């Protein structure tokens, strides 16, 4: 019990002193997950909006497929990306394995279906409300998507954060394609797994606390943004 | 509402070139005929009021005329063209419940102007003045009162410079001042050449606005006559019962 107490004390000390290793790991984690989230949003939100407004044969099957992909096992994604990026793989020529880029690709594959499915759900209701008016105005599909994305921006912000939450907390895929290499591809989750197995609980706890703080901070930001928007009654 | 010292609005001089020719129009849902063989000719000018009891098919007829929904049978021709996207681009529809974007009053107009490649702040401000919302330009549209929201919807419809404007019970559940404001705008744009097709339940409103009245009953045209004649001596029994406040089954 005393050991745990000491570990917590040391963890807070590492955070308070901006420990170089800790800062580097946190920085890389944010860099990788933010990049993956931004790219996933750029791809997934317009696709989700298109799926929300489009009516075509097989739409139900596509929705079921996208929803099923939300539950992709990270280790399987990690394995597939590993195979694709390894020297013998189709993308081996780019030499991306064990780089932050490989980790971004793995996270991107994991969170893009989440962004598509949640965006579709968020914008479908809005589209139901606007659809007749938009048809009356003879808007093109692109104009409809742009309007839905703009007016549904607060819901989409929440979608983006859900994607970010999944990305930053992910460990299985990034450890396979990143390799958890010190000063190169070590992120918070893989470092926590490593430090725990080594028995260095202070570092693992410090990283865990930072991870929780980031999750809380991000959610706090969303709530603030939502309340500001609601006050302006644009929502 | 309108300031006649100001230059004429952008839709001034818009000519409604021709009217509607509706033949054999039918629409069913769930085995029930909602529009049951409508043949109708509507002039390209003035204010046509569509009246009838609930479920008579007034809103459906409006949407069919605007080309928002396709009939099972029959045809709507406007200026010789079948109703569809091409005709819809030259028309506007104001819904009973205004559908406003989650944006400011001014941005709601800007949005429509941008979709028509006519970003023009002066024109937007003129439209907002026309409907008495200039002071509210920066406010969120969804914070407006019901009457103001409907006037904004009207301004947005006018921003498309339509030759025909359909209004589906735009004054339902509004206070008398808001009703008067909307009727003034409708009369003004009609006087400047825009064709108006106006759905209402209110016989008083029909009396104030209509040049001619289409009375629907059970998805059929029971009567289509000039407004004065309709009010003085309706020909059909359903219309007589409606005006007398009697239930006609």
Q: Which residues of A touch B89 (CB under 8 A)?
A: 138
Q: Is the confidence at residue B3, as pLDDT, over 60?
A: no
For A:84-143, CB contacts with B below 8 A are: 129-130, 132-133, 135-139, 143
**In the prediction, which pLDDT does A155 show?**
87
Rg of chain B in Å (alpha carbons): 18
- Rounded to a whole number of angstroms, the distance from the CA of B164 to the nearest CA of chain A is 12
**Mutation for B interface: A122, A125, A135, A137, most B CBs within 10 A:** A137
Return the SS3 of A56. Answer: coil
CA B146 to chain CA centroid, Å, is: 17
Q: What is the tens place of the pLDDT at every residue in A17-34?
A: 889 998 999 999 999 999
Pairing of strands B32-42, B20-29: antiparallel
- Rounded to a whole number of angstroms, the distance from the CA of B69 to the nearest CA of chain A is 10
Q: What is the tens place of the pLDDT at every residue in B225-239?
A: 999 999 999 989 999
Q: Is the confidence at residue A191, as pLDDT, over 90?
A: yes
Cα–Cα nearest to B128, from B111, B114, B148, B146: B148
Asked whether the beta carbons of B51 and B200 are under 8 A apart, the reply is yes
Q: What is the mean pLDDT of residues B134-148?
A: 93
Distance CA B128, CA B131 (A): 5
Two tokens at B154? 């009207």
- With cut-offs at 50, 70 and 90, classify the pLDDT of residue A215: confident
**In the prediction, which pLDDT does B6 show?**
46
Q: Is the confidence at residue B206, as pLDDT, over 80?
A: yes
Work out how many CB contacts closer than 8 A connect A with B.
38
Distance CA A196, CA A205 (A): 9
- With cut-offs at 50, 70 and 90, classify the pLDDT of residue B15: very low
Cα–Cα nearest to A161, from A187, A207, A122, A134: A122
- The answer to whether A76 contacts chain B (CB < 8 Å) is no
- The answer to whether A194 contacts chain B (CB < 8 Å) is no
Q: What is the tens place of the pLDDT at every residue in B45-84?
A: 999 999 999 989 999 999 999 999 999 999 999 999 999 9
**In the prediction, which pLDDT does A231 show?**
55
- The answer to whether A182 contacts chain B (CB < 8 Å) is no
Q: pTM for this one? A: 0.79
Asked whether the beta carbons of B121 and B107 are under 8 A apart, the reply is no
Residue % of chain B over a pLDDT of 90: 80
- DSSP string of B81-99, one letter each residue: EESSHHHHTTEEEE-SS--
Q: What is the tens place of the pLDDT at every residue in B100-122?
A: 999 999 999 999 999 988 888 99
**In the prediction, which pLDDT does A44 show?**
95
Distance CA B212, CA B209 (A): 9
- With cut-offs at 50, 70 and 90, classify the pLDDT of residue B12: very low
Q: Is the confidence at residue B2, as pLDDT, over 80?
A: no
Asked whether the beta carbons of B147 and B181 are under 8 A apart, the reply is yes
Q: Is the confidence at residue B37, as pLDDT, over 60?
A: yes
Q: Is the Cβ pair A132, B140 closer than 8 Å?
A: no
Two tokens at A17? 């002193």
Average pLDDT across chain A, whole number: 90
The residue assigned the tokens 């694709």 is A84
Buried b / exposed e along B160-184 (16+ C-beta atoms within 10 A): bbbbbbbbbbbbeebeeebbebbbe
Distances (CA, A) of B143 to A2, A225, B71, B157: 58, 19, 37, 19
Of the two residues B120 and A233, the one the predictor is more confident about is B120
With 0-12 / 13-18 / 19 or more C-beta atoms within 10 angstroms meaning exposed / middle / buried, residue A41 is buried
Name the closest residue on chain B to residue A235, using Cα atoms: B102
Distance CA B48, CA B224 (A): 10
Name the closest residue on chain A to residue B98, using Cα atoms: A133
Asked whether the beta carbons of A130 and A148 are under 8 A apart, the reply is yes
Q: Is the confidence at residue A202, as pLDDT, over 90?
A: no
The residue assigned the tokens 């919807």 is B153
Distances (CA, A) of B153 to A1, B150, B156: 68, 5, 5
Q: What is the mean pLDDT of residues A136-147?
A: 93
Q: Is the Cβ pair A137, B95 closer than 8 Å?
A: no
Q: What is the tens place of the pLDDT at every residue in A78-131?
A: 999 999 999 999 999 999 999 999 999 999 999 999 999 999 999 999 999 999
Two tokens at A139? 């808007």
Q: Is the Cβ pair B140, A234 closer than 8 Å?
A: yes
Residue % of chain B over a pLDDT of 70: 92
Of the two residues B196 and A200, the one the predictor is more confident about is B196
**In the prediction, which pLDDT does B116 show?**
86
């Amino acid at each position: 019990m005393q050991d745990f107490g000491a570990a917590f004390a040391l963890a807070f000390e590492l955070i308070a002193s901006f420990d170089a290793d800790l800062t580097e790991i946190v920085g890389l984690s944010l860099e990788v997950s933010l990049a993956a989230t931004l790219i996933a949003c750029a791809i997934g939100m317009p696709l989700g909006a298109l799926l929300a407004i489009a009516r075509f044969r097989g739409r139900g099957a596509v929705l079921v497929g996208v929803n099923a992909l939300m539950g992709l096992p990270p280790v399987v994604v990690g394995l597939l990306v590993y195979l694709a990026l390894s020297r013998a793989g189709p993308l081996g020529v780019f030499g991306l394995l064990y780089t932050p880029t490989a980790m971004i690709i793995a996270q991107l594959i994991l969170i893009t279906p989440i962004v598509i499915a949640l965006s579709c759900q968020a914008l479908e209701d809005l589209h139901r409300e606007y659809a007749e008016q938009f048809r009356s105005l003879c808007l093109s599909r692109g104009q409809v998507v742009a309007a839905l994305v703009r007016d549904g921006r607060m819901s989409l912000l929440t979608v983006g954060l859900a994607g970010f939450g999944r990305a930053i907390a992910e460990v299985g895929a990034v450890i396979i394609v990143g390799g958890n290499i010190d000063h190169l591809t070590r992120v918070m989750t893989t470092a926590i797994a490593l430090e725990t197995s080594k028995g260095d609980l202070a570092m693992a706890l410090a990283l865990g606390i930072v991870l929780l703080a980031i999750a809380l901070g991000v959610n706090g930001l969303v709530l603030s943004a939502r309340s500001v928007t609601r006050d302006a009654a644009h929502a | 509402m309108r300031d006649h010292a100001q230059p004429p609005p952008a839709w001034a001089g818009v000519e409604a070139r021709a009217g509607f020719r509706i033949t054999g129009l039918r629409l069913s849902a769930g085995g029930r005929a909602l529009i049951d063989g409508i043949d109708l000719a509507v002039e390209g000018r003035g204010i046509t009021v569509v009246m009838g009891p609930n479920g008579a098919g007034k809103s459906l007829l409006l949407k069919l005329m605007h080309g928002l929904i396709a009939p099972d049978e029959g045809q709507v021709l406007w200026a010789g063209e079948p109703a569809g996207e091409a005709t819809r681009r030259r028309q506007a529809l104001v819904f009973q419940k205004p559908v406003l974007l989650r944006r400011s009053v001014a941005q709601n107009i800007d949005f429509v102007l941008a979709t028509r490649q006519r970003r023009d702040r002066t024109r937007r401000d003129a439209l907002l003045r026309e409907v008495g919302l200039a002071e509210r330009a920066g406010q969120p549209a969804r914070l407006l009162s019901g009457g103001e929201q409907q006037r904004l919807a009207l301004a947005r419809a006018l921003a498309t410079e339509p030759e025909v404007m359909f209004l589906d019970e735009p004054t339902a559940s509004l206070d008398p001042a808001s009703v008067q404001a909307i009727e003034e705008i409708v009369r003004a744009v009609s006087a400047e050449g825009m064709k108006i097709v106006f759905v209402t339940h209110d016989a008083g409103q029909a009396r104030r606005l209509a040049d001619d009245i289409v009375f629907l009953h059970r998805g059929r045209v029971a009567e289509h006559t000039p407004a004065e004649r309709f009010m003085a001596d309706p020909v059909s029994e359903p219309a007589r019962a409606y005006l007398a406040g009697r239930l006609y089954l």
